[in-house]
A and B are shown apart, each in its own frame.
Chain A
Amino acid sequence: MPIDMLGSANHAQLLSFAGFLPETKVETTSFASPNDLPRSLDFVRLTGILAHREVSVDQGSFELAVGAAKKALSRADIDARDIDLVINCSVSKMDGKLHQHLSPSFATLLANELQISGAQTFDVSNACAGMLTGLMIAESRIKSGQSKYALVVSGEHITPIIDEAKRRNLYLHPRAMASLTVGDGAAAYILGQSKEPGRIRFSEPFTMAQYNRHCIGQACKSHPGPQMRTRAKDLQSGVINNLGNFLKRSIDYMELKWDQIDHTYSHPTTPKAVKKGAKVAIEVMGEINFLHNNSAETGNTASTTHGVQLEISQNSGYLKADQTALLVSFGSGLAILAVHFKLPKGVENWS
């Protein structure tokens, strides 16, 4: 430009987070039993996913996002009217009738629904890494003094890709297989100003675009709703082969000590994949204090996964104020980035 939109230097912090899941639980064996799959594949054993959640008839990405946002606002104990930035990061933006929202931004409609007036609103699209990308932008706005309170939110209604995959002959369409790993869910985070530096830090963000055609989500050409095609094995290799250097660089860049990170969350494509990644992390960095690998009952909820996992950990009583958490995110493209933060005050008392 040059860019001259940066104001005075502040610090940012996470004030609250929330994960929100629809009530309907669907067992993996009900649609992906060995009898349903090529070579009698044991999908549960292969992935570690036992079940996922699905929206009810009157729910879609929007309603899920609203649910998460309300919970996060209430936990942060701030008035919706104080929010001056809303970033939505949903990949799906799909309603219950399988219509895909395009314009204006989903964030604009969410702000309107939540009676957040006067806020800047827009959407970020970076696949499963969208939420951390949105958080990174929000943190930057707060640090530069352009924002006081930011809501970063996402609702994912993606389970229609399971139905699309089931309609295919998976012998002939093996790239549809990864579609069976997903679940619906939502997450929201509230960021605010802080006097304490370093309560939230981001890694260098990477896109390894040589993998940009390994996972494609788009409208199904023959039926209502979306479809996804994934070269899952190659994509996983892309992550595993680069994870060690990414972690080394990130921990250095964020000026952290690996053994002082209390809670670690990876993007859970599947619980089995997280275990593989953890093996690499342990070899390169040393033991992980507490790896939260708890997507067995939710599946991969795309951009909302970390929020959903944090919610499960919070509900289980594992999280305490001022403990630290590292979230590592991978998204189609292939985007890799991480965020480290101190858990918000009062997290152990949230209902």
Chain B
Amino acid sequence: MLSWESKKIGYTGLLKSTLKLAKKAISNAGINPDDIGLIVHGGVFREHFRTEPAFATHIQGDLDIQCHGIGIDSQSCFAFDVTDGSCSPHVAIQSIADLLPALSSDYALLCIGDDRPTKYCDWEYESYCVVAVIGLSGDGPKCESIIHDNSNLIPNLTTTGYFDQSIKRNKFVNAGAVEFLGQQSSKNFFQGHQNWLSGKHMHEFLQLINKHDDTLEHCIVDRSGKSTTAKWVF
């Protein structure tokens, strides 16, 4: 991870914040926007419960990265979204790890965050926007492995969008009751609160990076009980 930026955002405005942070992160990494060959966004909630196109294509378009036709030797950028509840950041990082080595570019943009879908949705979350430039080489923190654990999954703890007939508006509902696991931290381990969204998980993790000079395991437990743990080496 060559550079990173994160900030708390309001109920909406994820795209605007992402663009602002992306420009800063790209500049801090000492590269140009056109050096980015892959953009992966991770999150759950999108404005108006949008399903297509991928949010990452809006980031690419508004940053004007390779927004041209396909030439015989033109550079390219590829953009898509991943989602897996609060574990989305780790899925996004791993997807970049999977694809970037095969692409012609050495750099990817990791973008994490959620928008409150409509103003009619009850919103108990703190929304954070996180952007990082990831490179195939460099001196930054290195993600060594990501472990996935579905053994504690409770499949009926779902989140679903629906049209509320009583107010004629779209909302979402979290099914089931959860006794949330709190934040846990030790010398080489950090786990955020189970009710945090993806952006907050990554934001809080990034606050710890400068305090470590060896390894840090970052565990995210989703509301559904499934979890991912990324091992970072500094």
Interface residues of A (CB under 8 A from B): 1-6, 91-93, 97-105, 107-109, 111-112, 117-130, 133, 136-137, 140-141, 144, 202, 204-210, 212-213, 215-226, 228, 241-242, 245-246, 248-249, 331-337
Contacts and interface: CB of A to CB of B under 8 A. Distances in A.
Nearest to A252: B72
Contact of B224 (A5, A91, A103): A103
9 contacts: A1-B97, A1-B140, A5-B143, A93-B51, A125-B81, A202-B102, A205-B103, A207-B60, A337-B78
B13 interface: no
A218 B48 contact: yes
B181 interface: no
B212 interface: no
Contacts of A208: 66-70
A54 B111 CA distance: 36
Nearest to B171: A219
Nearest to B46: A218
B82 A100 contact: no
Given A103-B158, A104-B226, A209-B57, 9 more contacts: A3-B96, A4-B144, A100-B51, A104-B158, A108-B84, A117-B150, A225-B163, A245-B72, A335-B57
A100 B162 contact: yes
Interface in B20-37: none
Interface in B56-82: 56-58, 60-61, 65-72, 76-82
B97 A207 contact: no
Interface string B76-93: 111111111101100101
A61 B96 CA distance: 27
B184 to A, nearest CB: 21
Contacts of A121: 84, 148, 150, 226
Given A1-B141, A109-B155, A137-B98, A219 B54 contact: no
A119 to B, nearest CB: 7
B81 A124 contact: yes
A256 B1 CA distance: 35
B222 interface: yes
Interface in B147-176: 148, 150-151, 153, 155, 157-163, 165, 168-170, 172
Contact of A122 (B80, B83, B158): B83
B148 A333 contact: no
A111 B145 CA distance: 22
Contacts of A212: 53, 57-58, 60-61
Interface stretch (B131-139, B186-194, B200-208): B131-139
A99 B162 contact: yes
B100 interface: yes
B146 interface: yes
Contact of B57 (A140, A144, A333): A333
B70 A126 contact: no
A215 B100 CA distance: 27
A219 B61 contact: no
A281 to B, nearest CB: 14
Interface string B217-232: 0000011101000000
Given A103-B158, A103-B223, A5 B97 contact: yes
B142 A4 contact: yes
A348 to B, nearest CB: 32
Contacts of A205: 76, 78, 103
* Most B-side CB within 10 Å, residue of A100, A228, A337: A100
Contacts of B135: 1-2
